[in-house]
Amino acid sequence: MEQRFVDRVVIVTGAGSGIGEATARRFSAEGASVVLVGDQRAKLDALAEQLPAERTLVARCDVSKPRQVEAMVASAIKRFGGLDVLVSNAGVAPEGSVVEASVDDWERTLAVNAGGVFHGARAAMPHLIERGGSIVNTASVSGLGGDWSLACYNASKGAIVNLTRSMALDFGPRGVRVNAVCPSLTFTPMTADMKGNRKLMAKFKERIPLGRGAEPSEIAAVIAFLASDDASFVHGVMLPVDGGLTASNGQPPMG
Ligand X SMILES: NC(=O)c1ccc[n+]([C@@H]2O[C@H](COP(=O)([O-])OP(=O)(O)OC[C@H]3O[C@@H](n4cnc5c(N)ncnc54)[C@H](O)[C@@H]3O)[C@@H](O)[C@H]2O)c1
Q: Which of 54/63 has CB closer to ligand X?
A: 63
Whether the CB-CB separation of 202 and 161 falls below 8 Å is answered with no
Report d(CA 176, CA 187) in Å as an integer: 31
Q: Which of 57, 92, 124, 136 binds ligand X (CB under 6 A)?
A: 92
> In sequence order, what are the residues at sequence separation of 6 or more whose Cβ sits closer than 8 angstroms to the Cβ of residue 1?
29, 30
Q: Which of 33, 109, 138, 154 binds ligand X (CB under 6 A)?
A: 138
Task: Write the single-letter amino acid at 124.
Answer: A
Residue 93 binds to ligand X (criterion: CB under 6 A)? yes
Residue 124: CB minimum distance to ligand X, A: 15
Residue 112 binds to ligand X (criterion: CB under 6 A)? yes
Residue 133: CB minimum distance to ligand X, A: 20
Closest Cα to residue 185, out of 243, 131, 125, 136? 243
Residue 71 binds to ligand X (criterion: CB under 6 A)? no
Instruction: Select the residue whose beta carbon is closest to ligand X and give its number.
Output: 18
Residue 63 binds to ligand X (criterion: CB under 6 A)? yes
Q: Which of 33/113 has CB closer to ligand X?
A: 113
Tell me which DSSP letter residue 62 carries: -
Residue 20 binds to ligand X (criterion: CB under 6 A)? yes
Angle formed at CA 93 by CA 91 and CA 97, multiple of 5 degrees:
145
Angle formed at CA 191 by CA 188 and CA 192, multiple of 5 degrees:
80
Q: Assign 23 to helix, strand or coil.
A: helix
Binding mask of the shown chain, residues 193 to 232, with x at each position contacting ligand X by CB under 6 A? ----------------------------------------
Q: Is 183 a catalytic residue?
A: no
Within a 13 Å sphere around the CA of 50, how many CA atoms are in the beta-carbon half? 12
Report d(CA 33, CA 10) in Å as an integer: 6
Whether the CB-CB separation of 215 and 187 falls below 8 Å is answered with yes
Size of the site for ligand X (CB under 6 A): 28
Q: Which of 38, 158, 240, 243 binds ligand X (CB under 6 A)?
A: 38
Binding mask of the shown chain, residues 140 to 159, with x at each position contacting ligand X by CB under 6 A? x-------------------
Closest Cα to residue 167, out of 223, 111, 128? 128
Q: Which of 19, 34, 73, 176 binds ligand X (CB under 6 A)?
A: 19
Residue 185 binds to ligand X (criterion: CB under 6 A)? yes
Catalytic residue among 27, 80, 118, 153: 153
Burial class (CB in 10 A: 0-12, 13-18, 19+), 97: exposed
Q: Active-site residues: which are they? A: 153
Q: Which residues bind ligand X (CB under 6 A)?
A: 13-14, 16-20, 38-40, 62-64, 89-93, 112, 138, 140, 183, 185-186, 188-191
